[in-house]
Structures are given as structure tokens and as C-alpha cells.
């Protein structure tokens, strides 16, 4: 796995980091001057929990933002779990269970 470092304002790729291991990332970003790292305002990452502590250490003034794809994926999974629980509660063969099974796509529409 690699990491793409981008300027979010211009969507310009700045660099591609070869590894996502904490030790590799720490050594990579500590190459930059402290003032430059402290000037970073936001960092957008996936929901991988070890990143949070790492980002706070290396970019202490940065606001951590979860990327849209992973937030939507997590919300979809949670909604699906609730739907399945409701189906089980309604009982096999009930109208509500059948409706939740066959019309599940309607729950994910805008």
C-alpha cells in the first residue's frame, strides 16, 4: 500500500509515499522543517486509527478530516446492520421483513 500526498485545494499530487507503516511515514514527514509541518491546516485520511496519533505528533496544528468514501461506506454498513436487525425482529415471513429485504435499495437513495 502507498499513500498519495496531495494539495487538496488544487488536487495536485505532491508525492507518493511507498509505505503506510508508521515508522516509514514518521521518517518521511520529519524530513520537512518543523515550521512547514506546523503550518499544515488539514489532513484528510481514511479511518485507520493509528493515523490519528501519528498526525497529532507530526502535524500538531492540523485538523483531521475523514475522507468522504470511508465515511459513506461506514454509514452504509451501519444502516444495513440496522435493516437486518429490524428484519429479524419482525420475524421470518412477515410483511415488514419481506419489504426490508426486497426494497432495501430504496433506503440508500437520495
pLDDT tens-place string over residues 91-104 = 988 998 888 888 88
Asked if 98 and 90 count as a contact pair (C-beta separation under 8 A), the reply is no
Residues 8 and 61 in one domain: yes
10-32 pLDDT tens trace: 989 999 998 888 888 999 999 99
Q: Residues of the chain with pLDDT > 70: what percent?
A: 100
Residues 60 and 13 in one domain: yes
Per-residue confidence (pLDDT) for residue 28, from 0 to 100: 92
Long-range contacts of 50-56 (CB under 8 A, 24+ apart): 50/22, 54/22, 54/25, 54/26
Sign for the pseudo-dihedral over CA of 48, 50, 55, 58: negative
pTM of the model: 0.68
Residues 52 and 99 in one domain: no
Residues 75 and 43 in one domain: no
Residues 51 and 17 in one domain: yes
Residues 62 and 19 in one domain: yes
Per-residue confidence (pLDDT) for residue 89, from 0 to 100: 92
Residues 60 and 73 in one domain: no
Residues of the domain holding 32? 3-66
Number of C-beta neighbours around residue 9 at 10 A: 7
d(CA 19, CA 25): 7
Amino acid at each position: 500500500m502507498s499513500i498519495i500526498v496531495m494539495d487538496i485545494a488544487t488536487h495536485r499530487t505532491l508525492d507518493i509515499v511507498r509505505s503506510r507503516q508508521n515508522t516509514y511515514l514518521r521518517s518521511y514527514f520529519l524530513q520537512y522543517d518543523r515550521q512547514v509541518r506546523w503550518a499544515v491546516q488539514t489532513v484528510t485520511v481514511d479511518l485507520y486509527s493509528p493515523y490519528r496519533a501519528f498526525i497529532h505528533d507530526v502535524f500538531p496544528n492540523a485538523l483531521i478530516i475523514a475522507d468522504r468514501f470511508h465515511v459513506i461506506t461506514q454509514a452504509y454498513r451501519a444502516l444495513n446492520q440496522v435493516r437486518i436487525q429490524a428484519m429479524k425482529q419482525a420475524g421470518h415471513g412477515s410483511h415488514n421483513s419481506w419489504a426490508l429485504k426486497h426494497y432495501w435499495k430504496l433506503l440508500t437513495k437520495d
